[in-house]
Amino acid sequence: MILPLLLVAASFQDTTTLDASVAAFTGRPTGAEGGARTPVDARLRLATCPTVSLSWRSEQHDAVVVSCGGPAWRIFVPVIRPASAPAAIAASFVSVAKAPPVIKRGDPIVIEAGTDGFSISREGVAMGDAAPGGRFMVKVDDTRTPVQAIAVEAGHATLPGWSN
């Protein structure tokens, strides 16, 4: 007995629809300053999503995150940045680098992170110098690998992604 071979047509997300969504989100067409650098690659085989969500990857608006909750997938679409943006970002890093360090190598440090109703802190020793807002490594006694922290003030730091 020979069973018939059934071909099931796979349904994939339409990338041109994603391009239109990104253009609407950024307010700029693909290839224009402030818009997506290139169209979403049509070779992607993403499961069809009834509702995609879009958000900026960071405050610098350097990429759009297109994601689907069910089925779960996400892609990053790079955005063409204005020519003046890198200079502004570089200037902000220069101002942090020129500030005098508030934490010096060997200083005892308290790393704190938390929100309303939740707080956690750890003690450690600074492995380098850091100005306010600068990143440095902290050796915590009971761990083998150091922890990255952001200097807040003398003796105090926070974890990247947390603000106190």
108-153: pLDDT as tens digits: 999 998 877 788 888 999 999 999 888 899 998 877 888 889 899 9
For 86-109, how does the pLDDT look when each residue is reduced to its tens digit (9 = 90+)? 555 555 555 444 678 999 999 999
Separation CA 127–CA 134 (nearest Å): 13
| Residue 85 reports pLDDT greater than 90 | no
* The pLDDT of residue 8: 46
pTM for this model (two decimals): 0.47
Q: Any idea how long the chain is?
A: 164
How far apart are the C-alpha atoms of 144 and 87, rounded to whole Å?
38
Answer yes or no: is pLDDT of 7 > 80. Answer: no
Closest CA to 100 of 125, 138, 130, 128: 130
Mean pLDDT of 56-85: 86
Listed in sequence order, the DSSP H helices in 4-152 are 15-26, 85-98
Q: How far apart are CA 155 and CA 164, in angstroms?
A: 14
Q: What average pLDDT does the chain have? A: 83
